[in-house]
Amino acid sequence: MDKNLTFSDHLEKTAKKATSRVKLLSRIRHNISPYTAEIIYKVTILPILLYCNNVFLHMAPSKKALFENIQKRALKVINGYRHSVKLEKVSSIRNKMCALEVFKSLNGVSPHAFQNYFTRINHSQRTRANTKNIVLPKVKTETGKKAFSFQGANIFNQLTEEMKTETSILRFKTLCKSFNFDF
């Protein structure tokens, strides 16, 4: 752990591990189909890229680009010269997973420690945001803005009204599939 809590060394090691797995996939790619290569990517490489998702939601742009480049290399290995397989961006998957964690917390599906982690806006006036948006915690530092409590609330508040009011986890996941999490 570094003194500024940037986790840059850890992210570099994670990127190096994912890169080595992409190289291994490229070695066997000529023996397998694109479908099989995609499954191998989703099982062996993507979990490494998404490791500690909620901690790394607000990583530096250079680190985000590093992870996106690893994914692009993996996509080239999977597709070869064809462009048939498309993969969702790592940052988009991170945001989707974060929104799901916030949903679970708000609907009592998460572990007990996280069930009161987020609170919906609740005031006496009837406004458009009443009971749909989440209260953003007051933070004074940039480090506070990187915390899951702030990032999770911010991501959840950007969802559609239908998604914010949904109570079924299956329906919420279905709505997430069609929502663009690239922000």
Model confidence over 8-25: pLDDT tens digits? 888 899 999 999 999 999
Q: How confident is the model at residue 81 (pLDDT cuts 50, 70, 90)?
A: low
Residue 164 has pLDDT above 90, yes or no: yes
**CA separation for the pair 44, 53 (Å, rounded):** 16
What is the tens place of the pLDDT at every residue in 93-149?
Answer: 999 999 999 999 999 888 888 888 888 877 555 555 555 889 888 988 887 888 888
| DSSP conformation letters of 110-133 | S-GGGTTS--B---SS--TTTTTS
**CA separation for the pair 179, 92 (Å, rounded):** 10
Residues 6+ apart with CB under 8 A from 169: 103, 104, 107, 109
Averaged pLDDT score across all residues of the chain: 88
pLDDT at 96: 95
DSSP conformational letter for 29: G
Tell me what percent of the residues of the chain surpass a pLDDT of 70.
92
Domain boundaries, the chain: 8-87, 91-178
Least-confidence region, from 46-60, 110-124, 162-176: 110-124
* C-beta separation of 164 from 134 below 8 A: no
pTM for the full predicted model: 0.83
